[in-house]
Copies of this chain bind each other. A is one copy, B any other.
């Protein structure tokens, strides 16, 4: 009978505290295995320290110490030189989920959910039964506050087990100490050390010190003393704002008039734009926002689309920078080629975001494995859930064959390459609270794809050039081996002296030919004629050098530079395709002349002379 059943079921209905929820679903927060739980804890603490230091314009100096406890436990200490946390906030910040300073502010930051560190506290108490110990100091003149905290999972409220004021030699900073079931692993990409390494790459202004369970001390030293420009907080941009959000804003604003509401609640809406929007929506600028309902909100949304509004400010973002992307890859891998690309900022549902990409190729990278991807979001390395990340999906969606990479069965290309992808935004849309992967937001995917195609094209150019050089060399080798033999045989049979086959080679190869012919003259010296012919497919501008013991009068005349005992005769030559120049001079020297030198033409298209980059 259904009657009792509905009532039966009703008895079981009850509210679930967010702490209970995450206690049961801790894998959602990144606590699904012993090694990962440790990485997640370090990550969350580190994110907070770096964010706080950035906001306080402090050069971060962060110490992480991990000790083994028993067979399956660890103790973790994270200490920073940040601004510290005021006393009354400490319990909420560390022992209450969904509590924080960055959730409601529109700017790029590492933490944005108000869950991370309290999740670590939750996991710590769940697996060790111990409270977390917090020590924090906000200035040299104020005392350090010490707390022992737990999360009351039934209520998601902090439980203060101990509260004290103690001495701390630091001028300011925060120290966290907790115990948990976790394991410290080595030599994997998914390890604390690799995580810190990756963090250091994109945070070159931070000093991070790790003391591992075997007391090995590793310091990731800062490579610059300039603190990155802190990201600015912005107002929401009218584009892509949701109807419901707008209705809520209208309902809760303190502004009395629609026009000023628009002007002061959104970025890029000035006096004039506000009026245009009112006009376009057919709403009176003086209407109190509170009187505007669903229909009016809808009209405003349409007006946002009609009226021209500047795209959102980007000082709320703090990208890594192509330079650092390059350095990062170059430091991490021994490769032959690196390309980077950085897109101009874009927007998804009102949130500005920017994509940066790097590609490293060749060198020591394994040839028959799928390419590796280093993923970053708001300068935080993403180590897990690669397969679930929009960045990976973007890589997979690209036809890499057209850029010269193998892609058997689709998916990630198989090539000696590594990709670095960074997505920075005021609100990175992660697929879960563990912040491992970025959701498949179409706008983001297309930006990542465009950036990847850019580095793809650069790679393709590089590979093509490598390919053609290889071909050229093979071709030239054959020709320069075969032709001389033919020439010799010919010479023998015709009983003539062996002809110089350079001209032939040059013509066949499409090279720049420098053909020097030397005839003994009546003065006991040599008459020299230099023929320079451009058989290549492009106009060539270069300098021709003849190094001679004495200074000679050549025609055309040469610029002469003394070089020790020798004289460098220099001709600036600009030679259109197919053109030829002849230079003649006489020298007293009887010995074999040193090779002519061509400066400013790529080595592999020069025949009959030495090619150099520049003296």
Contacts and interface: CB of A to CB of B under 8 A. Distances in A.
A454 to B, nearest CB: 24
A328 B411 CA distance: 27
B5 A56 contact: yes
A370 B410 CA distance: 8
B432 A431 contact: yes
Interface string A433-449: 11011011110000000
Contacts of A386: 387
A121 to B, nearest CB: 11
Contacts of A171: 2
A142 to B, nearest CB: 7
Contact of A441 (B10, B24, B33, B387): B33
Given A6-B85, A86-B7, A127 B244 contact: yes
A369 B429 CA distance: 30
A560 interface: no
A41 to B, nearest CB: 15
B442 A28 contact: no
A6 B429 contact: no
A242 interface: yes
A287 interface: no
Given A98-B21, A409-B408, A28 B430 contact: yes
Nearest to A92: B13
Which of A2, A27, A100 has the most chain B CB within a 10 Å cutoff? A2
B6 A84 contact: yes
B243 A126 contact: yes
Contacts of A138: 2-3, 6-7
For the complex formed by this chain, how many copies does it contain in all?
2
A245 interface: yes
A547 to B, nearest CB: 52
Which of A15, A105, A247, A392 has the most chain B CB within a 10 Å cutoff? A15
Interface in A101-138: 101-105, 113-114, 125-130, 138
A500 interface: no
B86 A27 contact: no
Nearest to A6: B138
B129 A27 contact: no
Interface in A492-531: none
A97 to B, nearest CB: 9
Given A16-B103, A243-B127, A55 B9 contact: yes
Interface in A359-412: 368-370, 384-389, 392-393, 408-412
Contact of A58 (B2, B16, B86, B442): B2
Interface string A214-249: 000000000000000000000000000011110110
Contacts of A32: 429, 439-441
A84 B129 CA distance: 42
B96 A2 contact: no
A532 interface: no
A2 B139 contact: yes
Contact of A2 (B83, B93, B427): B83
A274 to B, nearest CB: 22
Contacts of A253: none
Contacts of A344: none
A419 interface: no
A10 B86 contact: yes
B242 A126 contact: yes
A71 to B, nearest CB: 12
A414 interface: yes
A88 B55 CA distance: 47
A590 interface: no
A103 B385 contact: no
A139 B432 contact: no
Contact of A103 (B24, B85, B432, B439): B24
Interface string A43-76: 0000000001001101000000000000000000
Contacts of A86: 6-7, 10
A21 B99 CA distance: 10
Given A2-B171, A9-B52, A99 B15 contact: yes
Contact of A431 (B56, B142, B431): B431
Given A139-B1, A431-B28, A441-B32, A18 B15 contact: no
A162 interface: no
Contacts of A102: 12
A267 interface: no
Contacts of A436: 388, 431
A112 to B, nearest CB: 9
A14 interface: yes
A17 interface: yes
Contacts of A572: none
A298 interface: yes
A89 B13 contact: yes
Contacts of A244: 23, 125-129
A362 to B, nearest CB: 17
A314 to B, nearest CB: 21
23 contacts: A2-B84, A5-B55, A7-B86, A9-B101, A10-B89, A14-B104, A15-B96, A18-B98, A23-B244, A23-B245, A25-B429, A27-B429, A33-B442, A127-B244, A128-B243, A370-B409, A384-B440, A385-B431, A387-B388, A387-B389, A409-B412, A409-B414, A431-B434
Considering the complex of A and B, which 10 residue pairs feature the smallest CB-CB distances, nearest first?
A: A387-B387, A388-B388, A432-B432, A126-B244, A6-B138, A408-B408, A409-B414, A12-B101, A27-B439, A3-B139
Given A6-B83, A388-B388, 15 more contacts: A2-B83, A2-B172, A6-B86, A13-B99, A13-B100, A16-B100, A16-B114, A21-B114, A24-B427, A126-B244, A129-B244, A129-B298, A387-B389, A431-B434, A432-B433
